[in-house]
Amino acid sequence: MSNGVNYYKADLRNLDFTLYEHLHVEQLFALPLFSHLSRAECDAMMKESYKFATTVSGPLNGSGDREQCRVEGGRVKTPAGFAAAWKQFYALGIPAFPMPQEWEGLGGPISIYLALEEMITGSNTSFNMYPGLSHGAGALIAELALPEQKQRFVKHLVSGRFSGTMCLSEPHAGSDVGATRTKAKPNGDGTYAITGTKCWISCGDNDFVENTIHLVLARVEGAPAGTKGLSLFIVPRVWVNDDGSLGADNDVQVGSIEHKMGINASATCVLNFGEAGRCKGLVVGGIENHGMAQMFHMMNGARIGVAMQGVALASTAYLNALHYAKERMQGPSVKNFKDANAPRVPILQHSDVRRMLLEMKAKVEGMRALLIKLALHLDLADALSKTDEKKAAYHQGQADLMVSLSKSYCSDQSFRIAELAIQIHGGVGYTRDFPVEQYCRDAKIFSIYEGTNHIQALDLVSRQLQRGNGGNFMAYMKDVGDLVTRLSASAALSAEAKAIGEAQRGLQEAAMQLMQWGMGGKLEQVTSVANWFLETMAELTIATLLLEAAEIAQAKLDAGGLEAAEQDFYAGKVASCRFYVWNVLPMGAARVAMIKHGDRSALELPDAGFARY
C-alpha cells in the first residue's frame, strides 16, 4: 500500500527550461505589474512547493484514496492528514502567490503560479482541488464583486480561514447550464432567498475551515429562460456579518457525496440550498442576469487548472514509469534474444518501452509548454493592458484561443499517459502497490468536469475560431507559419519544420471545411468532428512549441562545452521534438482526411439501427 509513501516525482530541470530558457517568463519582472517580484523569490517559492508536494501532500495521495471522504453528521469528513496539510499549505503562502497585493497576495504571474500548481496537484490531485476551488472563488470575488462584498470575503479566502466552491450543475442541468432551476428571490434587504439543489460540487464541504463560500448560479424570479437569465450569488455556509464575524447557519446542507472511480479524497457533494427556507445569498457585483459571464471568469481559470491537473499527473506518471523501467530487469537485449543465458537488462533497454516513454516525455513537455505559454499570454495581456493595447489584445486573443483546446487535449492525454504508465509497469501497475493505477482512475474525471471535452471542442470551433473576425486564429496561423519558415532553413531541424508546415496546411483545410459546413447550415456535421479538429490543432500547437524548444537545445548542443548531464538534457529536448513530429503529428493528417471525407453514417443511421437489446 502506498499509505504514507510519497510517489510524486518532478523534473525541476525541465520546468525551469520551459519557464526561463524557452518562454522567458522573466520578461514579466521588467513590467510594472510584476516588477515587485524577482526570479529569486519565485525560485524560492518553487522550492517550497516542491518540498510541500514531496513531503506533505504527496504522502497523503495513496492514503487519501483508500480512506476516501465520508459524511458524518451532515458534514464532510476528509481523510486523515488533509486538514493539517491545508493549514500548512496556507501558512506557506503558496495560495496567496497569484492574488492581488491589496488582498495580502504576492501579485505573482499566472505562468509561474501554474508551475507551483503543477507540483501540488501532481502530488495529490484530490488535495489540490480544495485550495484550487477556493482560489477560483476568491479571485472571482476579488475581481467582480462590490467593494463591501470583497471586504467581507476575499481576505479569508486568501488566508485559508474560509474555503470556496463553484456551484453550477443540477441533476438535469449538466452540460446544459441554461436549464438551471435553482431560484433566487429578493428579500428586500439586498439579500436574496436561495432555494435549489446543486450536484457535482467538488470540495462542496470539508473539515478544514470555519466557513465555506459557495458561488451559486441561480435564476431570479421572472428572469429570462436559458443562460441569459442566470445570476451569480455568494452563498456562505455560515452567514458572515458586516464586521467579518460569523453569524447564523445559512441553511446549506450536504445531501450526499458521490462514490467515484477516483479523486476519492475530494468530496463531490450534492448541496441543498434553502431546504428550511433560511438560505441567503448576495448577488455578485450587485447585478442580476450576468451570472454566466461572471462564472466564465472563474471558468477559464478552472479550465486551465484542469489542464494543469492533466499535465501534472501525466508528468509524475511518466517519471514513475521511467523510474520503474530503469529498475525492473526483464528479458535479454533484443540483440541476444536467442541466447537463454544472456544477461537480463532493465526494461528501459527494450525499444517498445523506450518508444512509450519518449511518447510520454514529448507529450508532457509539450503540454507543459502549452499551458505556461497560455498563462504567459494572460500575464502579458494583463501587464500590457494600459500601455500597449494592441499587444495586450494579441495576447488575450491567443490565450482565449488556447483555453478549451488545452483543457481538452491535456485531460485526454493524461489518461492516455497514465494508461501507458500502467502498461510499462506490467502486472504490478495494475495493483495498489504502485501509484499508477490511481493516477489513471483520478485522471478520468478531467475529460468530464469543468465542461466535457466536447463542450470544449464546441467552444473552439463555434466561438474561438471566429472571435475578433477570425483575427485570433489568423494571428495564430501567422505565428506558426513564421516559425516554420524560419526553421525550414535550420541545419538540424528543417525536416521537422517542414512536416509542421504540412500539418498546418492540413489544419487550414479542415478549418475551411468546417466553415463551409457552418455557412451551409450543416452544423450537425461541424459538431460531429469538432473533437478531431481540436485534437489536430492541439497537436500542431504542441509540435511548434517542441520545435521552439528543440531549436534552443540544438543551439546549446552546437555551441558545445556542456557537462554530460546538460548534454543529455538538451539531447532529450531535441528527441522530444523529433519523436512528436514523426510519431504523433502524422495522425493529424489522417484526421484531416476524415474530416474532409465528411462521412455522415452516424448522423443518418436511424436510432433503432444502433442495437436491439
Binding mask 117-156 for its own copies (x = CB under 8 A): ----------------------------------------
**One residue of 200, 233, 239, 476 binding its own copies per CB under 8 A:** 200
Site for its own copies contains 587 (CB under 8 A): yes
The letter for the amino acid at 232 is L
**One residue of 444, 470, 488, 492 binding its own copies per CB under 8 A:** 444
Site for its own copies contains 552 (CB under 8 A): no
- Residues with catalytic roles: 450
Inter-residue contact 110 to 1 (CB < 8 Å): no
Pairing of strands 211-220, 162-167: parallel
Rounded Cα distance, 134 and 208, in Å: 12
Rounded Cα distance, 238 and 21, in Å: 47
Site for its own copies contains 605 (CB under 8 A): yes
Question: What are the Cα distances from residue 72, in Å, to 61, 86, 205, 257, 499?
Answer: 22, 20, 11, 11, 58
CA 456 from chain centre, in angstroms, equals: 12
> Which span (143-151, 236-244, 333-341, 473-481) binds its own copies, by CB under 8 A?
333-341
Site for its own copies contains 261 (CB under 8 A): yes
Site for its own copies contains 426 (CB under 8 A): yes
Count other Cβ atoms within 10 Å, centred on residue 32. 10
Residues 510-549 that bind its own copies (CB under 8 A): 523-525, 527-531
Inter-residue contact 183 to 323 (CB < 8 Å): no
Rounded Cα distance, 79 and 343, in Å: 46
Task: Please name every residue paired with 194 in a beta bridge, in sequence order, or none if there are none.
Answer: 184
Q: Which of 282, 250, 308 is nearest to 129 (CA)?
A: 308
In the complex, least distance from residue 323 CB atom to its own copies, rounded to whole angstroms:
7
Residues 155-174 that bind its own copies (CB under 8 A): 169, 172, 174
Q: By CB under 8 A, how many residues form the interface with its own copies? A: 114
Site for its own copies contains 489 (CB under 8 A): no
> Which span (70-78, 122-130, 467-475, 589-597) binds its own copies, by CB under 8 A?
589-597
Residue 491 makes CB contacts below 8 A (sequence gap 6+) with none
Site for its own copies contains 334 (CB under 8 A): yes
Burial class (CB in 10 A: 0-12, 13-18, 19+), 30: exposed
Question: What are the Cα distances from residue 59, in Å, to 6, 56, 438?
Answer: 4, 6, 14
Task: Please name every residue paired with 173 in a beta bridge, in sequence order, or none if there are none.
Answer: 170
**One residue of 72, 176, 221, 558 binding its own copies per CB under 8 A:** 176
Site for its own copies contains 453 (CB under 8 A): yes
Site for its own copies contains 571 (CB under 8 A): yes
> Which span (141-149, 374-382, 448-456, 481-489) binds its own copies, by CB under 8 A?
448-456
Site for its own copies contains 361 (CB under 8 A): yes
In the complex, least distance from residue 222 CB atom to its own copies, rounded to whole angstroms:
15
Site for its own copies contains 564 (CB under 8 A): yes
Residues 224-243 that bind its own copies (CB under 8 A): 224-229
Site for its own copies contains 386 (CB under 8 A): no
Site for its own copies contains 47 (CB under 8 A): no
Q: What secondary structure letter does DSSP report for 29?
A: G
